[in-house]
């Protein structure tokens, strides 16, 4: 009986440890550009930002949400942007962005929202301003 009790306690302890680790890291799936799926590991302890899936994964990197831009825009070919921005999520309309991310208060297109690991660092409607910001903050 003692062996069974010890075995039960050992299994319970292992499962409890696994549960705590699972709570620290969540896996989310988001759509990136043309239907491509991407898994992102987001620490739930890292931030209180409303949309942690939009945040950059590493220090010194950015993620970008574009709204109302056309496919093949110069964002992807701009070296300053492509070097610093590791993830780009594009939504075709302001209405879609407002439904998906109501707390971001996106009002017109095109809109560019640049994120670091903590939250929004730039909200602009001008691609040149976006590029300039990235160049100055790298």
Q: What is the pTM of this model?
A: 0.64
Domains of the chain: 2-136 (3.40.30)
Residue with tokens 């409890």, as numbered in its chain: 16
Two tokens, residue 39? 């898994």
Cβ atoms of 125 and 118 within 8 Å: the answer is: no
User: Could you read off the pLDDT of 73-112 as tens digits, one per residue?
Assistant: 678 788 888 889 989 999 999 999 999 999 999 999 899 9
């Amino acid at each position: 009986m003692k062996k069974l009790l010890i075995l039960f306690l050992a299994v319970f302890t292992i499962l409890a440890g696994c549960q705590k680790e699972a709570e620290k890291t969540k896996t989310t799936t988001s759509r990136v550009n043309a239907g491509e799926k991407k898994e992102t590991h987001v620490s739930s302890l890292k931030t209180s930002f409303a949309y942690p899936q939009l945040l950059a994964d590493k220090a010194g990197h950015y993620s970008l949400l574009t709204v109302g831009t056309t496919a093949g825009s110069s964002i992807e070919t701009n070296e300053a942007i492509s070097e610093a921005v590791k993830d780009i999520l594009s939504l075709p309309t302001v209405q879609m962005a407002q439904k998906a991310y109501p707390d971001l208060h996106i009002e017109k297109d095109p809109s560019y929202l640049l994120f670091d690991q903590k939250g929004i660092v730039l909200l602009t409607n001008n691609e040149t301003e976006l590029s300039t910001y990235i160049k100055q903050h790298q």
